[in-house]
A and B are shown apart, each in its own frame.
Chain A
Amino acid sequence: MSAVLQKAEKAEKGALKGAIRIEDVVKIYDPEGAAVMAVDHCSLDIPAGEICMIVGPSGCGKTTLLNAIAGFHSISSGKIFLDDELLCGPEKPMAQPGSDRIVVFQNGALFPWKSNLDNVAFGPLMQGKLGKKEIYDKARSMMADAGLSGTEHNFPGEVSSGLRRRVEIVRALMNEPKVLLFDEPYRALDSLTKSVMHEALLEIYYKNKVTIFFITHDLEEAIFLGHRLVIMSSRPCKPKKIIDVDIPHPRDYSVLTSTRYRQLMDETIELVHEEAKKAFSAGEKEG
């Protein structure tokens, strides 16, 4: 039995929090000028503890949605709730960024001037709820759990990008967030590293059961990781089809060769390809 499955069996089922409800959200950029509609009446319900993969071609507005949840962009209309609490809505177009929804960025946002350990300890240190010694002990043990011990005193610039991603995830988890928001984090990694990252992510998920909102355009990644796939139409962004990935968790790399996986790929690839072609002919710029 693989390492991932073994570890998953040992993981507890923590309390589930972090349900996201997106209600009829619209985002128009530069309303008095070019009026570009990035998100078009998007509604989506993500139950707590689900790994929800948002799939679509580049530039279709998925990042806008993520940024709206995180609190970096405002929305033009509609509402977003986290566990029935309003994040943003008509009276409050922009959410307040907070440690209950932490983003893992596309190009990584580990502070290059702090060591890995200092990065991991950053959140709790800023929030000041725990004592310094406690924080560092916790940081060290979480890094060890994720297989990162030995790299505490390296700077992010000295280690590989795969390792950096993992440190960034641990940094987020230190704050016990309800939701992790991933913005195509593994886009720039080679396929060997990616598969390692996927298993690492699942390991972490089985221990922590956060809600994961994961943007990707890699269909294989989406099916391997997700509970559900939300396939978005190209700009403006709107859920086109929602597909349940009924391969049971916990999963490991043997899933990749299973029949069900192949079937799901077949089902979804046409849909995604359609949208990709539309985006391509519209000349969408990456980003």
Chain B
Amino acid sequence: MNAKRLRKALFNRSKLRAVIAIFVFLVLWEIGSRSKDWFGFAVPWIGHVPAPTAVVVAWYGLLGDPGYWQSWYMSTLRVLAGFFAAMLVGIPLGLFMAVNKTFNGLVFPSFEILRPIPPLAWVPASIIFWPTQELSIAFVTFLGAFFTIVINVLGGAKSIDPRYFQSAQSMGSSQWDVFRRVVLPATLPSIVVGSAVGMGITWEVVVAAEMISGGGGSGGSGGGLGFFIWNSYVGGSYEQIVVGMISIGIAGFISSELLRKLGSYLTPWLRKR
């Protein structure tokens, strides 16, 4: 029975199909990108992209380069800074808006007016305002995650079944108790979702901000994976562009997964039996 189960787990049909699909994708990519050399004409779009094999070679070379890992470090730092700032401000704000109708009426419409402005549109204003480039990037990162987190917290708090409040009250809870034991835990799943999405947005914004401001030529306090990609492009090392892209993808994926695990830990009641 055990060997059978093991075999089933390893050669799971869906895993197999996934592997096949990715393999096919890589093969097509390789062929397409080598098309100029092999067939004499470049396949549109893919023909101009560096080949996966070349990328792997470049990546191997970069593994020993401290500058590469420095970029990882810088980007991660910025993401975490912006993200936590957004959580720190956004969660309490969202909860307060959910709980206090007057405050909500006051703040929410203005919030909704500012929200459609893409975070990156704030970059120039942010650069003017903040003394250092680092802070301006951090601010824009903060904005990106902030709106998402608040919206998710609000949504979560609004959909709390009123019966939870009623049972708490009928058991004699004070306002603070109700908040701590009903509102907070009930909103937690939405906070988790909001932060996962917010995390994704944070990465987007960091990369963009790094490319825009770092790529603006200052180079000094640049660094970070976004800058790395842009620099590779400008410097003509196209394989490194792809290395950078995949690196960010991995970083983003890891951070989302960690968040999800953390969220699952904090909300054990949501786990399936």
Check A-B contact in the complex, CB < 8 A. yes
Q: Which residues of A contact B (CB under 8 A)?
A: 32-33, 285
A69 to B8, CA, bound (A): 30
Q: Does B5 contact A (CB under 8 A)?
A: yes
For B273, the chain A residues whose CB sits under 8 A away are: 285
For residue A59, give the distance in angstroms from its CB to the closest CB of chain B.
Answer: 13
For residue B68, give the distance in angstroms from its CB to the closest CB of chain A.
Answer: 45
Q: Does B1 contact A (CB under 8 A)?
A: yes
A277 to B273, CA, bound (A): 22
Q: Which residue of B lies closest to A33 (CB)?
A: B5
Within 8 A of A (CB), among B1-27: 1, 4-5, 8
For B5, the chain A residues whose CB sits under 8 A away are: 32-33
A242 to B249, CA, bound (A): 63
A285 to B5, CA, bound (A): 27
Q: Which residues of B contact A (CB under 8 A)?
A: 1, 4-5, 8, 273
A123 to B273, CA, bound (A): 38
For B8, the chain A residues whose CB sits under 8 A away are: 32
- Give me 6 A-to-B residue pairs in the complex whose CB atoms sit less than 8 angstroms apart, sorted by A's number: A32-B1, A32-B4, A32-B5, A32-B8, A33-B5, A285-B273
A285 to B272, CA, bound (A): 13
For residue B172, give the distance in angstroms from its CB to the closest CB of chain A.
Answer: 30
For A285, the chain B residues whose CB sits under 8 A away are: 273
Q: Rank and list the top 6 A-B pairs by shortest CB-CB distance, nearest first.
A: A32-B4, A32-B5, A32-B1, A285-B273, A33-B5, A32-B8
For residue B2, give the distance in angstroms from its CB to the closest CB of chain A.
Answer: 11
For residue A34, give the distance in angstroms from its CB to the closest CB of chain B.
Answer: 12
For residue A119, give the distance in angstroms from its CB to the closest CB of chain B.
Answer: 29
Q: Which residue of A lies closest to B1 (CB)?
A: A32
Q: Which residue of B lies closest to A285 (CB)?
A: B273
For residue B8, give the distance in angstroms from its CB to the closest CB of chain A.
Answer: 8
For residue A146, give the distance in angstroms from its CB to the closest CB of chain B.
Answer: 35
For A32, the chain B residues whose CB sits under 8 A away are: 1, 4-5, 8
For B4, the chain A residues whose CB sits under 8 A away are: 32
A194 to B1, CA, bound (A): 49
A32 to B1, CA, bound (A): 8
For residue A32, give the distance in angstroms from its CB to the closest CB of chain B.
Answer: 7
For residue A236, give the distance in angstroms from its CB to the closest CB of chain B.
Answer: 20
For residue B10, give the distance in angstroms from its CB to the closest CB of chain A.
Answer: 15
For residue B4, give the distance in angstroms from its CB to the closest CB of chain A.
Answer: 7
For residue A120, give the distance in angstroms from its CB to the closest CB of chain B.
Answer: 33
For residue A286, give the distance in angstroms from its CB to the closest CB of chain B.
Answer: 12
For A33, the chain B residues whose CB sits under 8 A away are: 5
For residue B139, give the distance in angstroms from its CB to the closest CB of chain A.
Answer: 45
A33 to B5, CA, bound (A): 8
For residue A19, give the distance in angstroms from its CB to the closest CB of chain B.
Answer: 39
A72 to B8, CA, bound (A): 25
A15 to B39, CA, bound (A): 74
A33 to B8, CA, bound (A): 11
